[in-house]
Every structure is written in C-alpha cells, then in structure tokens.
Amino acid sequence: MHSRYDKLIFELSSEGKEGYRFPETGVDNADALVSLPAGMLRTDELSLPRVSEPEVVRHYTLLSQKNYGVDGGFYPLGSCTMKYNPKINEDVCGLEAFTGLHPYQAEESAQGALELMYELGAMLAEITGMARFSLQPAAGAHGELAGLMIFKKWHEGRGDGKRNKILVPDSSHGTNPASAAAAGFEIVTIASNSSGTVDTGALRLALADDVAGLMLTNPNTLGLFETEIREIADLVHEAGGLLYYDGANLNAIMGKARPGDMGFDVVHVNTHKTFSTPHGGGGPGAGPIGVAARLEGYLPGPVVVKDGAVYRLAPAGEDSIGKIRGYYGSFGVLARAYAYIRTMGAEGLTAASETAVLNANYLKELLKGKYRLPYDRVCMHEFVLDGLIEAAEGVATLDVAKRLMDFGYHPPTIYFPLIVPNALMIEPTETESKDTLDGFADALLKIADEAICEPQTLHEAPRDTPVRRVDETRAARQPVLRWEQPVEKEAE
C-alpha cells in the first residue's frame, strides 16, 4: 500500500498557523529591525509556509512513505554499497556532547571529539595500509579532488610541473575524470582488456613524463580484482607517476588485502559505503583520505595529533594543499563510522567482506542462465550483467529495472559502467540473507520470462509505486525548479 498523498508543504499554508514556540529570553525584540537602515531590510514576502507542528510532522511522514530505503527492502545498487545502517551509530553521533560542540571551542573542551577523530584516523590507516589520514573531505568525489591536489603539489614540489595528465580506466566512476578536471588535469582514458581489467599494454603506451598519475578502483567497477595491480603500480611509479585508490569498492577486501600494500599513494574511503554511515537520500557522507608516508605533509589541515595524553588540531604544514572545506570534517558522519568499526572489530570487518563477496557470487550464479554475464569469473562484492539473453523486441535494461519495483525491490545500478552497454550492476552487500537473495533472483528470473512472453508488462512497469514512470524529457525541456504561488491566491 502506497501513499497517494500529493500536497506540497506550501499548499498546506494558512495565515495564523505557527509551528514553533519561542522561549522567554528577557530581552525585548520589538525594535530590533528598526536599528538598521531601511534600505538594508527586505520588503518582499518569503515563500515559506505557515503550518502547525502536527501538519509538518504528518506531511514529512507521508513523504517518507513514498521513499524506498535499506530498512524497508533490498537495495542492490552497484557501486553504492547499500548495507544496513546500524542504529547504535545514530545514538553515538546524536550524543548532545558531540552535536552541541562548536568547532571553535577550545581544544580542552573538545578532547573526546578529537580523541574519536584521532582513533578513527588510525583505524582507517590500519584497514587501508596507509600512513596517515585526513578526515576532512566531505564525500568520495571531494576526497578525489583533495588527492589529486596532493598529486599536483607533490610533482610541483619536485620541480616536475609539466605533469598535467591523469589516467583513468574506461570502467571508472564519472567522478574520477570530473575530479581530475576540477584539479586542472587533462584526462586520458585507458581501455580495459577482454578480462575486464586494466590493459597493461595500453597503460604502458599512455605513461609518459607528462602523466601525474593513475586513478583506479580495485576491485574495479565490474566487481573484478585487478590481478596485475603490482605490475600496474610499478609501471606508474617507474614512470614518475602516483597511484590513486578510489575506495568505492573497499567493502570487498577488508582484512583480505590493503591498497597501501598494493602500492597506492593516496586512498579515499567512502564512510557511507564501506563503513555503514547512512546515504541520507544523497548525503551527507564523508570521504576521508589516507596517504603513503612520503605524502603526509601534503594532507589538508588541520590534522588531529596526540601530544602525550592531549589531542590537538595541528595546523597544516607548508607542503599542505590547504583546506578544502570548513573546519575539520563531517564529524557527525565520522562518529558513526567510528562506532561501526568498533562494533565490527577486525574479525567482523573481514567477515563482512567475505560475506559481501559470497553473496555477490551466489547471486551471479543464480542469474547467469537468463542474463548475459560478460565476464564469467569469480567476482568480488559486485557483478555486472549485460542485459537479458533473450527478450522480445524493444525490451531494455531500463524495463527490467522498472519492473523490479513491482516486486518490491530497488533496482540495481543500470547502464554503468559504460563499457557494458546494457549494464545491470548488482551489489547485494553482506547484510542480506540467503532468503532475500533467493527472492530477488526469483523475481529477476520471472521478469526474464515476462520479457519473452509478455513484454507489455515490462514496458508498463512499475504499476504499484507512488508514481509511475515520469516524463524526464519534459522536466529537462521546460524546467520547473520551484513552486510558484498560484495567481488566484496572491490576494490573501
């Protein structure tokens, strides 16, 4: 049963309603605005509603019911690691002593928060095999940008400023080339070989004295481990470049292998993927970056250090790339990641990666009879199917995805990576039971049959969702990007 509620908050507004009562302060505020020159004040009416608290609560509760989240169902969105978000994490970050801390409070009055950040940095360094972490980046893409700035600064510091190219595989996340471009680099794309991994021959040809480095996800976006990673790292380093690890897929290898040992120089982790912090409908996440020892001084500042028994925020050194956001990091998100790592411990994290990989391989086996599997080998935490093996004319991957919603599942990532034309990228994560995987596979197999016998069902899907397929073309051609007060109501 889905909510058909369809009001905007503005459409509930009536003059005379209030949703918040202020406490007594003892200060009269009647003349406050008069203290400013009239020309500094706004005279227009704000497009904010006038609603009571129960109406606000019901409105957003009803909206929440039009959303699909991990708590409500299976969410195998490839490359996004939609694992369970533990409830204790929310309690930890919600402690008033943390939420009520101002970033400019004296360090003495924030020792517990600094201690948490220090310990989290050390734990992330241990998990990834890096020397030191900065918790500052606000997201994975933000970590990439910071990492690439480090590349740039490192090369410049060695008088090697001509290195203006970044290599990315053709299977990479869109953020990789976008971040490299934002950091002022030119992008060179490296083809994948027939096994779905980096073509080392193509890499050799691309490596030159103007290459700053290579960005790599390992396992890559096809869910395949780059078996030649040591050779790749050596090639890049011998050519004077650095190696960047996109941590989007770290969930596959915790306790099994470490990017630092593979030769990566800079690593970001997505706390909202690997370390169970909520995706929040698009954020906030966090993208801490770790570096090899020779790059420590390049990290954005400040970094938390321990002086005897006291924690301090050490300002950035002269090699540092500077700051890339305000203050020290998304503390509330980092506190959740900290709670998760403490909950799991070494053996729990290893078990998480093992189970994530087992779940992906099992699901792949259940599906490969009816869906094309372009790289038929043991996968890591995710796998990519290339659409249906057999289907009626006109049935596309998009239709399969939309039909899945009628079965109560969130669809996988579709049409990514770009090198698989009809891609269904499936990442079940470790927090799903065998029953869930079996049920999901049954649904996809039934859809495969429908694709042959009753394609119309797929074209018309979804049927049972709060809205059905939406007109995206209209949204883009005639953009309506905010609510406007209807004309007849303007007189109120």
Site residues for another protein, 154-213, by CB under 8 A, read: 174-175, 177-184, 187
Helix or strand holding residue 96 (H, E): helix 96-99
DSSP code of residue 207: -
Alpha-carbon torsion angle 425, 437, 398, 476, nearest 10: -80
CB of 81 to another protein, least distance (A): 10
The residue among 156, 307, 283, 146 whose CA lies nearest residue 215 is: 146
Residues between 94 and 123 that touch another protein (CB under 8 A)? 94-106, 108-113, 115-116, 123
Q: How far apart are CA 324 and CA 268, in angstroms?
A: 14
* Size of residue set near another protein by CB under 8 A: 202
- Residue placing its CB nearer to another protein in the complex, 202 or 357: 357
- Quick one: 343 or 389, whose CB is closer to another protein? 343
Smaller CB distance to another protein: residue 112 or 317?
112
List of residues 6+ apart from 59 with CB closer than 8 A? 7, 9, 12, 51
The piece of 271-279, 290-298, 367-375, 382-390 that touches another protein (CB under 8 A) is 271-279
- The 42-71 contact track toward another protein, x by CB under 8 A, reads xxxxxxxxxx-x--xx-xxx-xxxxxxxxx
Here's the x/- map for another protein, 366-385, by CB under 8 A: it reads as x----------xx-x-----
- Measured from the CB atom, the residue of 253 and 452 that comes closer to another protein is 253
- d(C-alpha 1, C-alpha 453), whole Å: 28
Check residue 145 for interaction with another protein (CB under 8 A).
yes
The interface with another protein within residues 463-492 (CB under 8 A) comprises: 465-472, 474-476, 479-483
Residues 321-340: x where in contact with another protein by CB under 8 A, - otherwise, as a string: xxxxxxxxxxxxx-x---x-
Both structure tokens of 370: 């009816």
| Cα–Cα nearest to 464, from 6, 70, 66, 82 | 66
**DSSP three-state, residue 271:** coil
Identify the bridge partners of residue 189 per DSSP, sorted by sequence position: 168
Q: For another protein, which is the closer residue by CB, 351 or 452?
A: 351
Residues 229-258 that bind another protein (CB under 8 A): 229-230, 253-258
- Residue from 74, 80, 235, 419 binding another protein (CB under 8 A): 80
Contacts of 438-444 with C-beta under 8 Å, sequence gap 24+, read 438/366, 439/74, 440/74, 440/76, 440/363, 440/409, 441/363, 441/366, 441/367, 443/404, 443/407, 443/409, 444/367, 444/370, 444/371, 444/400, 444/404
Residues between 403 and 462 with contacts to another protein, criterion CB under 8 A? 405, 410-411, 413, 416, 430-434, 462
Instruction: Build a one-symbol-per-residue string for 4-43: x at contacts with another protein by CB under 8 A, - elsewhere.
Output: --x-xxx--x---xxxx-xxxxxxxx-xxx-xxx-xxxxx
> In this structure, which amino acid lies at residue 146?
A
Q: Which of 444, 450, 457, 456 is nearest to 391 (CA)?
A: 450
Cβ 193 to another protein shortest distance, Å? 14
